[in-house]
Structure 1
Amino acid sequence: MPRIIAGEFGGRRLAVASDATRPTSDRVREAVFAALDARVDLAGMTVLDLFAGTGALGLEAVSRGAASAVFVDDDGRAAEGLKRNIATCGAGQRAKVVRRAVDDFLRSTTDRYDLVFCDPPYGIPDDELAAVLALVAPLLGDGYLVLERARRTADTSWPPTLRPVVAKRYGDTRVEWAEPR
Structure 2
Amino acid sequence: MIRKYKSKNKLRPTTSKVQLAIFSMIGHDNLIGKKFLDLYAGTGNIGMMAINYGVKLSCFVDSNPSFISKIKNKSKENNLLEKSKFLIANCETQLHKLSDKFDYVFADPPYNEEPFEKIMYQLAKNQLVHKKSKIFLEHSNKIGLKEYYEDKMRIQTKNYGDTVISVFQTANN
TM-score class normalised by the smaller sequence: 0.7 to 0.9
Which amino acid letter does the alignment assign opposite residue 113 of structure 2?
I
- TM-score (norm. length: structure 2): 0.85
Paired residues in the alignment total 161
Which residue of the partner structure matches residue 146 of structure 1?
136
Find the counterpart in structure 1 of residue 105 from structure 2.
Answer: 116
Which residue is 1:155 aligned to? 145
* Structure 2 unmatched ranges of 5 or more: 1-7
Aligned-pair identity (%): 25
Q: Give 1:129 deviation, angstroms.
A: 2.4
Residue 148 of structure 1 aligns with an amino acid whose one-letter code is: E
Say which of 135, 141, 149 aligns to 2:122: 135
SS at match of 2:82: helix
Q: Which residue of 2 aligns with 1:3?
A: none
User: Partner amino acid for 1:154?
Assistant: G
Residues 156, 92 of structure 1: CA spacing in aligned structure 2 closer, same or farther, 3 A cutoff?
Answer: same
> Counterpart of 2:65?
76
Of 16, 20, 41, 1:30 maps to 20
Q: Does 1:91 align with 2:89?
A: no
- Which stretches of structure 1, 4 residues or longer, exceed 4 Å deviation after superposition? none
> What is the distance in 2 between the residues matched to 1:21 and 1:87?
21
Q: CA deviation at 1:105?
A: 2.9
Deviation digits for residues 82-103 of structure 1 (CA, Å, limit 9, x no counterpart)? 1122123210000011111113
Q: 1:84 to 1:114 in 2, by over 3 A?
A: same
Taking only aligned residues, the RMSD between alpha carbons, in angstroms, comes to: 1.8
Deviates more, 1:107-116 or 1:161-170: 107-116
State the AA in 2 paired with 1:130.
Answer: E
1:46 aligns with 2:35: yes
**8 A contact 1:21–1:78 mirrored in 2:** no
Other structure's SS at 1:103 match: coil
Normalising by structure 1, we get a TM-score of 0.82
Tell me the equivalent position of 1:170.
Answer: 160
CA distance in 2, matches of 1:35, 1:101: 27
